[in-house]
Amino acid sequence: MKTLSLVRALFPKWNFFDRIAFNFQLEFKIPGSTLWEPISFDQERRPFDVIINANYNLSLAQVSLLEHFSRDIQELQAANPLVDSKEVQALTSFKMLRSLLFFKLQEYELESDSVQFKIVACGEKEILDIYISDWIQKGRV
């Protein structure tokens, strides 16, 4: 898995890797809602952005954070299948993901400061919930 991640870092958009590995998605919901809303990391590509495309590079880094957090969760579950919420919240990747979530939620007009998120792994034939968070408050660390 680590070798695949290293190779993907060199060639992040090869369709070959999308066929053999999972793509990770970030979804959220607010209190009172039963539907999970996906957060998009898609970026428009333009012909002149071949060399420098800051928005696309940022999007790739954000998706890489989802992959890193998912790997951290899997490592915790390998050590102990019943992972404590406090243990997850102590992860640096969780703290970064939490900040990313609230950054991306600025695009939505949410009335609630409380939100729940989940990481979903999407394969060619299956979809797996990797992690579902507790309810977290905006502005609380």
Place of tokens 């792994």: 121
Residue 33 to residues 29, 36, 119, 131, Cα–Cα distance (Å):
6, 8, 17, 18
pTM for this entry: 0.78
Q: Summarize pLDDT for 11-63 with one digit per residue, the tens.
A: 555 444 444 577 899 999 999 999 999 999 887 776 666 667 778 888 889 99
Give me the mean pLDDT over the 73-97 stretch. 93
Whether residue 113 is predicted with pLDDT greater than 90 in this model: the reply is: no
CB atoms closer than 10 angstroms to residue 43: 15
Residues with Cβ within 8 Å of 69's Cβ and at least 6 positions away in sequence, in order, are 91, 93, 94, 96, 97, 119, 131
Whether residue 82 is predicted with pLDDT greater than 50 in this model: the reply is: yes
More confident residue, 4 or 65: 65
End-to-end CA distance of the chain: 31
Q: Can you give the C-alpha Rg of the chain in angstroms?
A: 16
pLDDT at 115: 95
